[in-house]
Amino acid sequence: MTLVKEDQQLSPIAPLLQPLTIRGMTIPNRLVMAPMTRSFCPDNLPGDDVVGYYQRRGEGGTGLIVTEAIGTDHPAAVGDTGLGEMNLPLFAGQDTVDAWARVVRAVHPTGAKIIPQLWHQGPMRMPNAEAPAFSPSGHYGDPEKAADYYIEKAKLIAATDMPVPSDEEIADVVEGFGRAAAQAMAAGFDGLALHGAHGYLIDSFLWEETNRRTGRWGGDRSQRTSFAVEVIKACRRAIGEDKPLIFRFSQWKQQDFRARLAETPQELEEILGPLADAGVDLLEASVRYFNTPAFPKESDLSLAGWAKKLTGKLTGAVGGIGFSKGMYDTMSSTSDGANNLPLVLERFEAGEFDIVSIGRALLHDPSWARKARLGEPLPAFDPQSLTRLT
C-alpha cells in the first residue's frame, strides 16, 4: 500500500521513503533487498517457493528487490564453493527465462521493482567433473588468510588445478554475461546488477593477488578493470539505454577479509572511474559494517561515500544495517535486532549514499521494511532463517 505524504513525514525513517530514479527506473523508496544466495533452485530454476519468497518482500514494503546471484551459462559459472551452495539459479535458456518471469510477475503488483544480480564464482568455486574453476591467473589466493570457518575448504580449492585461461576464453565469458543480461530483459526485470565483489570472478580480475596477468586483461590497477569494463559494456548493450545497471564492489574478499583493492582514494578512483565510464549507474559498496571509514587517515567517510565523491555516481550502502554486527559475526548465533537506523539516516542525509541495502534482516522477516517505516521493534536474526524461505 502506498503511503500518503503525511504518513511518510511522520515515519521515523521518512528520508528513506522518498522515491529515487535510477536511469529509467523509479523505485518507491530507498529500502533495497540485498542479493543473498539461498540455494533453493533445483535444476537451476526458481519454483513456487522462490516466487513467494520475493513476493512477500515486495508486499512488506521493500522498494527494490535485488535477487540472489544468478549464474551465466558458462560451465564453471556456479557450483559448490565449499559453503554448501548447491541448487543455484542460472540464465541458460528459455526455461530459465520463463521461471524468472513468474517471479517478476509476482513482485510487480506489490509496487516494488526487481532486478537480478548476475555472477560467476570464478576461483571461489570447487572444481567438478564439468569444468575446472576459472581464475584470471589460475590462482585462488592465499588459503591461510581465509576465515577460520572456511580455511579447510579454501585449502582444497587452492590446491586444485586452475588452468590459466586464454584471452579468447575470457572473451567468451564476457559474452556469456551479455547473454544472461539479454535473458534477464526477456524475463521482464527492471534492470540489472553485477556481482563484482567478495573474490568472485569479476573481483578476481580487479584484485592483484588473483590477477597476475599481463597484456589484454591484466597489468596495473587501471588495466585490471578491463574485464569488468567489458562485462559492463556487454550488459549495457543487452539491456539498452533505459534500464539501470548496478555494480557491487568490495575491498574484502572471502579469501582474505583484510584484502584491499585500494589503499588510498586515488587508487580507488583508478578502479571505479573506468567502471563508471563504462555504463554503471549505481555503485554498491559492500563492507562488513556500512559506516566503517574506508580511509581513516583521510576522513571517516564510508566506502560508499568515497565512491560517490570520486565518481559522481549514485551509491548504495550495505553491511550490518539493522544489526550491531556484520554478517559473518552472526552466522551461527542469534543476534539482537539493533536499530541502527538513526546512524544510517545520519549518513544518508549527509549525502554519503542514495540507497540502503538490507540483507539478513529482510531474509529473516519479509515485513522488516514496513516495521522500520512504522517505528516498530525490529526482530533479532535467527541463523535458522538461512535454512528456509520465510
Number of Cβ atoms within 10 Å of the Cβ of 309: 16
Q: Is 272 within 8 Å of 311 (Cβ atoms)?
A: yes
Beta-carbon contacts of residue 274 (< 8 Å; ≥ 6 apart): 222, 225, 228, 229
Concatenated DSSP letters of 24-56: TEEESSSEEEPP------GGG---HHHHHHHHH
Q: Which amino acid is present at 123?
A: P
CA–CA dist 122, 279 (Å, integer)? 23
Residue carrying the nine cell digits 544480480: 117
Q: Which of 291, 215, 207, 285 is CA-nearest to residue 246?
A: 285
Q: Is 140 a catalytic residue?
A: no
Query: At what angle are helices 226-239 and 167-186 packed, to 10 degrees?
Result: 30
CA–CA dist 374, 369 (Å, integer)? 9
Where residue 78 falls (left for φ over 0; alpha for ψ -120 to 50; beta otherwise) is beta
Residue carrying the nine cell digits 590462482: 139
CA–CA dist 218, 205 (Å, integer)? 7
Catalytic residue among 54, 200, 289, 328: 200
Q: List residues with catalytic annotation.
A: 200
